[in-house]
Structure 1
Amino acid sequence: MTDPASARPEVPRGRAVLVWSVALSAYIAAVFHRSSLGVTGVDAAHRFEVSAATLATFSVAQLAVYALMQVPVGVLLDRYGSRRLLITGGALMVAGQLCFALATDVRLAVAGRVLVGLGDAMSFISVLRIVAYWFPGRRNPLLVQLTGTLGQLGAVLGAVPLVALLHHTGWTTAFLTAAGLGAAVLLVAAAAVRDSPHPGTRPATGASPAADRGRLAAAWAHPGTRLGLWTHFVTQFSGTVFALLWGFPFLVQGQGLTPTAAASLLTVMTLAMLLAGPAIAYLCSRYPRRRSVLVFGITGLTAGIWTVLLVWPGPAPGWLLVVLVLILALNGPGSMIGFDYARTFNPVSRIGSATGIVNVGGFVASILLILAVGVVLDLATPSGQEAPALAAYRWAFAVQYVLWAVGAVQVLRWRNAARRHDGGPAASTSRPEAVPARPGGGRFASGSDRWRRRPPGDAAVRRRRRGAPTRTRRRS
């Protein structure tokens, strides 16, 4: 597979938007399948007669497979392309929902979540690869954010509508309906999605394993890729765990809300993501060298609102819970900054490998938090008490501070390493987050040369060649 040449004309916008929209619908379906357990966690605990820690294994099994498969899926994506992986992933998720619908014991239910996690692992990064190939680089930050945020519409379908369907028709009918929805989207994706608009950029299906390992090693070796991984780690886990599993029980059992009110708050959180995504995308495009400011800002806001909530005496007022979900809505769009690092620091020929590496971060953190919350809830809940109390949830969610501390330190570490890698010592004071320039790319290059700024010294060099006086730029 070769990189798209920057000299190629842009693809007709209508055709590109159609392909992306259909691929996006496949990702929306994946988020729906992924989040379907979050709002049915209480029902699942009753159906399978399991404790909080055992219920956590359902989500952990799903997320563990998702995280473990990211790097292998990234390599497969570079080799086989987005279309094949979207079709395969969709089929696996449909099979997983069928298992979950028919399960009457824990083993089959866990098997169903494993299949959902395996299929889900193939969805998001496949859509990001389509964005890289079908759209010019100047639109990439916006399209990546729109993919991540619009994909959360699947969580909206997995909240109030699924809860209503579950309570009116029963467990089996609700999840059979979910499987049918996934099958319909799968058929549309198979008919409409194509890997690339250019014949010369077809996946390298004949590539050798050595070439795959070389792309993966090169992606991992670049500190910008690891900066993306830890960015994804530190920004994503709090909102993901809240939406995926523990938010609904926390609101119902800990805060005393009705199931409908709790599901509505999760829906507000998802809708807020739709507004936050484009705003963060604009800031990333406008200030690409200051993206880590956004990362630390989002992390600080999230830790701050949880601090207020955990020290609040008694159940929190409604307005504070609304503020919580609005700030947690920034977590998903904030984690997309990690993929922007992967895109700007890697050529498109290894974008699948780099994106897969980045996507591991947030889901590893989410797995750790899901397990920790389940264990702490069991330890903090007295024997014989049916549901955890608010105090137990406070202790459980306090585990997040450890993950925030580790992630923030690593983001600082790899941001500094990326400075040195791309600009040398001088760059560490003037270019906090270098956006690598590539030959042949102007201010806004397209294709594999995606959005780039000219190196800061170019203007001064041209003035010296013309004999004009150079200007001294003040470093801030």
Structure 2
Amino acid sequence: MREQVHDIGRRRAWVIWLVALSVYVLAVFHRSSLGVAGILASERFDIDATSLATFTVLQLAVYAAMQVPVGVLLDRYGSRALLLTGLVLMTGGQLMFAFVESYPLAVLARVVIGAGDAMIFVSVIRLVAAWFLVRQAPLVTQLTGQVGQVGAIIAAAPLSWALVRLGWTGAFALASSAGVVLMVAVALVVKDSPYRDDGPTRIKLRTLARQLQFVWGNPGTRLGMWTHFTSQFAMTVFAMLWGFPFLVQGQGLSTAVASTLLMLMTGWVILSGLVLSWMVSRFPYYRSWIVIGVVGLMIVPWTAVLARDTPAPLWLLVVLVCLTATGGPASMVGFDLARSFSPQETMGRASGLVNVGGFSASLLTVALVGVVLDLRQPGGMAAYDLDDYRAAFSVQYLFWALGITQVLRYRRRGLDHLRREHPGAVESMKRGEPFVHPGFSDREGV
């Protein structure tokens, strides 16, 4: 039995969470910084849509590919070490991006940013699982996802302003400096657990491989992953790269109005997340259906906008960005689902696998949008029109259809698993009570 030396869910927990949350805000800012700079980047590096998409695709590919190894490292070394490592990589990558002028080096800089970003969110989620009570965790998890999107607001407005006033190098160099301040804060404040530190958890390779097999074989992990896959990608694709060009070139909006819509999108994340966190806490048995409902609401305005052969009215674009933004909080439900099926000692690995879902869908969608744009209009970024963007954004329906199918499939398997391995768990969730996983078992992956 480990010795508890700090209170759970009290003042120290909130202070640690706030510092870690600040790192996540910065990570979202770095991740989203290309969103308002996409058109400038195409001019600076003289590239077409496919090449521009490569920035984001490789950044997201590295992010997704690192989730499993990051989860393993997280369970072994803890959140503090990975937050510091991620900050070093993001700061260095953004500083490099500020000064390079060749396309290959710029791509390398974005890859380094993606590698650092990959370590942040799951580290914060593990701190939430360790430092907060079971009844607090769903709300704090949602708040993490919501408040973290403030980084996208900073990327949409202040960075846009800085690019005009300071230029490319000055704006991105200034952006990189925030990482140094947060490195000091993490080193001084963050502690991995309220229990006495016994050092890194050493796991034999054979045991690690076996536990990874159990974590992946657990239908709850896959349900969380497909939940994240289905709900997150539309918002990520829109905010990270293609939303700004779509609004300016496809819908004919000014850059100021487009930036305002991106900020509105982020503000709606916070508002909708509060509602979703209450629903998830109140109705744990219906979490998957809540997510499917949100995705259905997202599809409606996208269909209305893409069906038009003329620019959509501003009110419809407002509805589009708000409902698309709701996918962000909905994707957080994937981590809450994984927590119901996973013991705390494997949460790093389970969270990493869940996080692969949405970012895999995002990088594939980003790439396909760029490919469709270039196939329709080889003339480059300046030549794209509304019809080109209508065709390109239609690729989203493929991923929505696949994701909804898989969520329904693994919801059924997950409930069967709980009935078999944890009698009474399903009935408890139907009564609105959260299920607390009792601990690791060799049968969990069966």
Q: Same fold (TM over 0.5)?
A: yes
Residue equivalent to 1:161? 158
Note the alpha carbon deviations across 1:173-202, whole angstroms, 9 max, x for none.
000001101221222112111101111675
Partner-residue secondary structure (3-state), 1:313 = coil
Residue equivalent to 1:118? 115
1:21 pairs, out of 18, 21, 24, with 18
Say yes or no: does 1:264 pair with 2:284.
no
Note the alpha carbon deviations across 1:8-47, whole angstroms, 9 max, x for none.
9843611110001001101111111110011110110010
2:122 counterpart letter in structure 1: I
- Going from structure 1 to structure 2, the CA distance change for 1:383 and 1:93 (only over 3 Å counts) comes to closer
1:399 counterpart letter in structure 2: V
Aligned residues of 2:309 and 2:386 also touching (Cα < 8 A): no
Aligned residues of 2:48 and 2:381 also touching (Cα < 8 A): no
- Going from structure 1 to structure 2, the CA distance change for 1:215 and 1:312 (only over 3 Å counts) comes to same
Residue equivalent to 2:444? none
Residue equivalent to 1:104? 101
Length-normalised TM-score, structure 1: 0.88
The 5 Å alignment of 1:387-402 reads 387-402=383-398
The 5 Å alignment of 1:313-328 reads 313-328=309-324
- How far, CA to CA, are the matches of 2:410 and 2:263 in structure 1? 35
1:88 pairs, out of 85, 88, 94, with 85
Say yes or no: does 1:69 pair with 2:66.
yes
Aligned residues of 2:145 and 2:328 also touching (Cα < 8 A): yes
Deviation at 1:383, TM superposition (A): 3.9
- Going from structure 1 to structure 2, the CA distance change for 1:354 and 1:67 (only over 3 Å counts) comes to same
The 5 Å alignment of 1:223-238 reads 223-238=219-234
The 5 Å alignment of 1:7-46 reads 10-11=7-8, 13-46=10-43
Deviation at 1:329, TM superposition (A): 1.3
- How far, CA to CA, are the matches of 1:225 and 1:137 in structure 2? 18
The 5 Å alignment of 1:284-323 reads 284-323=280-319
Note the alpha carbon deviations across 1:27-80, whole angstroms, 9 max, x for none.
111111110011110110010010011000000111000000001100110000
Residue equivalent to 1:456? none
Q: Which runs of 5+ in 2 are unaligned?
A: 440-446
- How far, CA to CA, are the matches of 2:198 and 2:252 in structure 1? 55
Note the alpha carbon deviations across 1:254-277, whole angstroms, 9 max, x for none.
011111111110000001111111
Deviation at 1:209, TM superposition (A): 2.2
Residue equivalent to 1:281? 277
- Going from structure 1 to structure 2, the CA distance change for 1:221 and 1:8 (only over 3 Å counts) comes to farther
Residue equivalent to 2:129? 132
Partner-residue secondary structure (3-state), 2:253 = coil
Note the alpha carbon deviations across 1:108-142, whole angstroms, 9 max, x for none.
10011001000000000000000011111110100
How many residues end up aligned between the 2 structures? 438
Partner-residue secondary structure (3-state), 1:38 = coil
1:25 counterpart letter in structure 2: S
Question: What is the identity percentage for the equivalent residue pairs of Structure 1 and Structure 2?
Answer: 50
- Going from structure 1 to structure 2, the CA distance change for 1:20 and 1:394 (only over 3 Å counts) comes to same
- Going from structure 1 to structure 2, the CA distance change for 1:118 and 1:420 (only over 3 Å counts) comes to same
1:355 counterpart letter in structure 2: S
Deviation at 1:386, TM superposition (A): 2.9
Residue equivalent to 2:239? 243
- Going from structure 1 to structure 2, the CA distance change for 1:424 and 1:213 (only over 3 Å counts) comes to closer
1:373 pairs, out of 369, 377, 387, with 369
Deviation at 1:432, TM superposition (A): 7.1
Deviation at 1:302, TM superposition (A): 1.1
Length-normalised TM-score, structure 2: 0.93
Q: Which runs of 5+ in 1 are unaligned?
A: 438-442, 451-476
The 5 Å alignment of 1:434-453 reads none
- How far, CA to CA, are the matches of 2:198 and 2:32 in structure 1? 34
1:417 pairs, out of 413, 428, 431, with 413
- How far, CA to CA, are the matches of 1:252 and 1:117 in structure 2? 26
- Going from structure 1 to structure 2, the CA distance change for 1:169 and 1:412 (only over 3 Å counts) comes to same
- Going from structure 1 to structure 2, the CA distance change for 1:293 and 1:371 (only over 3 Å counts) comes to same
Deviation at 1:101, TM superposition (A): 0.3
Residue equivalent to 1:56? 53
- How far, CA to CA, are the matches of 1:89 and 1:433 in structure 2? 41
Residue equivalent to 2:352? 356
- Going from structure 1 to structure 2, the CA distance change for 1:211 and 1:270 (only over 3 Å counts) comes to same
Deviation at 1:434, TM superposition (A): 7.6
- How far, CA to CA, are the matches of 1:311 and 1:432 in structure 2? 42
- How far, CA to CA, are the matches of 1:55 and 1:414 in structure 2? 35
Aligned residues of 1:419 and 1:434 also touching (Cα < 8 A): no
Partner-residue secondary structure (3-state), 2:20 = helix
Aligned residues of 2:284 and 2:434 also touching (Cα < 8 A): no
Note the alpha carbon deviations across 1:195-233, whole angstroms, 9 max, x for none.
0111167541x3222232233222111101000000000
- How far, CA to CA, are the matches of 2:209 and 2:238 in structure 1? 36
Say yes or no: does 1:175 pair with 2:172.
yes
Partner-residue secondary structure (3-state), 1:207 = coil
Larger Rg: 1
Aligned residues of 1:422 and 1:434 also touching (Cα < 8 A): no
Aligned residues of 2:30 and 2:113 also touching (Cα < 8 A): yes
- Going from structure 1 to structure 2, the CA distance change for 1:444 and 1:419 (only over 3 Å counts) comes to closer
Partner-residue secondary structure (3-state), 1:158 = helix
Deviation at 1:380, TM superposition (A): 1.3
2:47 counterpart letter in structure 1: V
Note the alpha carbon deviations across 1:68-107, whole angstroms, 9 max, x for none.
0001100110000000000000000001001100110111
- How far, CA to CA, are the matches of 2:10 and 2:438 in structure 1? 19
- Going from structure 1 to structure 2, the CA distance change for 1:214 and 1:176 (only over 3 Å counts) comes to same
